[in-house]
């Protein structure tokens, strides 16, 4: 599929697992990008056009919430689709993420089928 995905997670193992599921959802391997924290993700967005961000919340340097705030404030990036994939259980924090325009929240650990279906649905609706 012609969709660029950015996986933002501080765990290389989880990024690899998420990448495998995204490929199963039909995204070409060379269209999947990675970042280890929010700052790396913002840097990547300056270099590459991204359609979908799969975002962890709890990361060093810049967490997912700060990343989402900065993304929404940016005049050219504010309409990128963001999905939270995190262990975060704090309802207030998750509500703030939804207020920032996050399309969906998927709790870790997740079933690969659930992430695959979510990515397929978002990409199928042309994000």
pLDDT in tens, 52-61: 999 999 999 9
Per-chain mean pLDDT for the chain: 92
Residue 126 has what pLDDT?
A: 56
Radius of gyration of the chain (CA): 13
For the domain that residue 20 is a member of, what is the CATH number?
A: 3.40.50.2300
> What range defines the domain where residue 26 resides?
5-124
Encoded tokens for 114: 């659930």
How many distinct structural domains can be found in the chain? 1
Give the pTM.
Answer: 0.93
Residue 78 has pLDDT above 80, yes or no: no
Instruction: State the pLDDT confidence band at 117, using cuts at 50, 70 and 90.
Output: very high
Q: Do residues 32 and 10 lie in contact, with contact meaning Cβ atoms separated by under 8 Å?
A: no
Strands (E), the chain: 5-8, 32-35, 52-55, 81-86, 104-107
pLDDT in tens, 10-30: 999 999 999 999 999 999 999
């Amino acid at each position: 599929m012609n969709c660029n995905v950015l996986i933002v997670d501080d765990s290389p193992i989880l990024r690899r697992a998420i990448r495998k599921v995204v490929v199963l959802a039909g995204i070409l391997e060379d269209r999947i990008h990675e970042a280890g924290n929010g700052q790396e993700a913002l840097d990547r967005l300056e270099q590459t056009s991204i359609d979908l961000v799969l975002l962890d919340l709890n990361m060093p340097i810049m967490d997912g919430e700060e990343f989402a705030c900065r993304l929404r404030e940016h005049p050219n990036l504010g309409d990128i689709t963001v999905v939270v994939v995190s262990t975060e259980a704090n309802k207030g924090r998750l509500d703030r993420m939804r207020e920032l325009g996050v399309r969906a929240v998927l709790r870790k650990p997740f079933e690969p089928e659930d992430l695959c279906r979510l990515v397929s649905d978002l990409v199928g609706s042309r994000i």
